[in-house]
Chain A
Amino acid sequence: MRRPRRWWAAALAGVAALIAAPAAPASVVALQDDRLPNHSGAELGERLDLLAGTGTRVTRVDVLWDQVAPTRPAAPRDPDDPAYRWDRYDEIVRGLQARGIGVILSYYRTPPWGSASGRVQAAPRPAEAAAFAGAMARRYSGRHPGPDGRPLPRVRRFEIWNEPNIDYFWSPQCRRAANGGFAPVAAYRYAALASAAVREIRRAQPDAVVIGGVAGPAGGVDERRKRCRTGTESVSPVTMVNRLRAERVAIDAWSQHLYPIGSPSQAVFFPSWRTLPQLQRALDRLRPGLPIYVTETGYHTSYNRFHRYFVSERQQAEWLEETFVMARRNPRVALTVWFNLQDNPSWTGGLLRGDLSRKPAWETYARLARAQTPAAEWLP
């Protein structure tokens, strides 16, 4: 009987220690709804209300380049080029502003006219993708008029691509080196894109926050023994950082996605909350103290083929709380975005089930989101 009691005492002490952690600069608690770009009109309004109902004050929105620019623009830096279709994003940004929710715009998906393979995952030509980033930053600079003549809201934070170190979002990842090893071509091309995108965004908004990396949780930390057999093997986030350093890319924050196996405080694989210091050391060589934005994290409550690890709904709620505790304990982590609002068959890490019923994690998230007051710079 004594052993379980000791175990419980230790566990309680651990939780108490986590809760009583020294107050660090609070990491912003945020939530993404990846379905926002699928809706418009009244449906979009309902969706935005659902997001606002969680108490979230900051969100991240995917800007799908292939949908905004289905045909090649003649003047790609000009947001008013007739090829661009911003209407859905204008509506989203205005709707978020009306609800007092700040936004990070993250763009990816190569349009057919810019894709070597015709697939949206094809690595873009850096100049073309950077020009689009410039157009986006110009449109949402706070000075640009919308179709009704009223200025569109300002967005300050822009993410360059999504998980460019994973084949599902950026292809090819690697080429076989002369010695049969691993040449991380995705890291080289991404660094070229990031460098050009930083220039374009700054030209439109000199004080914009440009977020680079947006690295998926794959690739490990050590690529010395890695082989490129199919071109799809993931590139390490550390390799991505090192390429950005070699190109002297002046990003303002590094975005890292974390989907740990095990609880946030237990997980030991790279990258996870406990192994972030390994990434921080690499980032310090890019720019000392560079902030980290965890723009995706979460736990799935049933199996899906994109994330093969799942937990119970009760564990999800407990580990959501622990996620934000771990974020708060790391002063480098400025923002943590829970991904996602609602389940779909390919992604079961939502706070809501597919039928919109609430999981226990919804209540936990809402409590944490309502307890925070993000600094004014995060809000619209």
Chain B
Amino acid sequence: MSRRALPLAAGLVAALVGTAAAHGSAPSASLTKWNRIDGAVLAGSTLVALDVETVRVRRGNRVALTYHSVAAVRVGLTARRTRFARNAFSTAVAIRTSIGPMAGARLAAAGEGDWVVAPGGRGFAPPVVWCCGPGDREVVITSDGRPDAPVPVAAGVDGPRVRVLLRAPDGATRLVSAGPRALADVDAPDTTRTEAPVAARPARGTAALAAGVAAWADAPASGVLRIAVPSDAGLGQERSVALGGRLLGVWADAGEVVALIRRGRRNEVLRIPPGGAPATVWRGARVPRVALGGGTVAVADGRAVFAARRGAARRVATSRGPVAAVAADGDRVAWFERISRRGTDGVGRRTVARLARVAP
């Protein structure tokens, strides 16, 4: 082989190896419907999303049966997290009930790849489920069917502990801490489980828990966010942060908090670092989709996907359809876009997940 041919051959081999490595991977992953996506997280090398649906089973033209479902669906990413390992999602946890809709579900992840799902629900206490233990099996953290059962208002992963804020009908709130990761058998009792009463009175939808941080508002649409450090003993180092507007939503990850507020006629996404003051990441007229992970804030406004590892958010991608949910983890952002195509048998609808890199 000549000296000129050698680099050419090496390049060819490298290209073939690269092709082989990417074999079976895909630039996008699809869900076959347009169900509500209540949240998404990048948990290690997995993208997880909550597919929320009211299922109407038909017999002929008649609805024979209605029930409500929250499914945590997931798809793996390739080693470099640039593509999806497959082009479709699989269901990891499915929660179904005939009591009522479970919209308003929340999903929280840790960098180790595990995650916790807390469905919404009015008039009943939905379960909190952690995934996944040995054999890829889930662990039920709380599940209480009594009519007066305390309702989970926030759940998150804090190192080896899963924490849940439970609020009773009389307002009394407890912080439940469990250690599902240490369970050799997912059906064995968790001997490390603790419950501590806390003074917080968080409203559902405005509370978040994560590693080293709990954030909540004591009333819906409050202008003040409470931030504390959770532990098995309860909540400590509490402080109040004035938001300058009405709180619409809150997310937490690794000591940081992101708040979505309404200020005047505009919406703002604020980043609140540990012990620091709020800084505006994004502002706009519409209520955006928001996520926080690995220090990155992701915001989707219509078809525009923004992300910020520090400072103001910059556009990282433009979606082909309206964005239903976003997820972020350090240098990666993922989003779910609604795609509809008119075919011979009507309009085909899909929800497609895509990935983009976030510049440092």
Contact = CB atoms under 8 A, between A and B. Distances in A.
Interface residues of A, number: 25
Contacts of A312: 98-99, 124, 145, 147
Interface string B39-82: 00000000000000000010100001111000000000000000
B266 interface: no
A263 B98 CA distance: 9
A86 interface: no
Contacts of A311: 97-99
B94 A308 contact: yes
A267 B96 CA distance: 14
B146 A353 contact: yes
A91 B321 CA distance: 67
Given A303-B129, A305-B137, A348-B143, A268 B59 contact: yes
B287 interface: no
A348 B145 contact: yes
Interface string B107-126: 00000000000000000111
A303 B147 contact: no
B195 interface: no
B238 interface: no
Contacts of A348: 143, 145
A345 B129 CA distance: 13
B344 to A, nearest CB: 24
Interface in A288-341: 300-305, 308-315
A117 interface: no
Contacts of B126: 303
Contact of B140 (A267, A269, A304, A315): A304
A328 B234 CA distance: 53
B180 to A, nearest CB: 12
A199 B57 CA distance: 44
Interface string A197-241: 000000000000000000000000000000000000000000000
Contact of B145 (A261, A266, A302, A345): A302
Contact of B127 (A263, A303, A313): A303
Given A266-B64, A304-B140, A313 B146 contact: yes
B109 to A, nearest CB: 20
B95 A308 contact: yes
A309 B143 contact: no
Contacts of B64: 262, 266, 268
A303 B124 CA distance: 12
A346 interface: yes
A3 B54 CA distance: 22
B232 interface: no
Contacts of B98: 261-263, 309, 311-312, 315
A303 B140 contact: yes
Contact of A303 (B95, B146, B189): B95
A298 to B, nearest CB: 13
A303 B67 contact: no
Interface of B: 57, 59, 64-67, 94-99, 124-127, 129, 137-140, 143-147, 186-187, 189
- Considering the complex of A and B, which 3 residue pairs feature the smallest CB-CB distances, nearest first? A301-B145, A302-B145, A303-B127
28 contacts: A261-B67, A261-B96, A262-B64, A262-B65, A262-B66, A266-B64, A268-B59, A269-B57, A301-B145, A302-B125, A302-B144, A302-B145, A303-B95, A303-B126, A305-B129, A305-B137, A305-B138, A305-B139, A308-B95, A308-B96, A309-B97, A310-B96, A310-B97, A310-B145, A311-B99, A312-B98, A312-B147, A345-B187
Given A262-B67, A305-B139, A345-B189, 11 more contacts: A262-B64, A262-B66, A266-B65, A269-B57, A304-B140, A309-B97, A310-B145, A311-B97, A315-B98, A345-B187, A353-B146
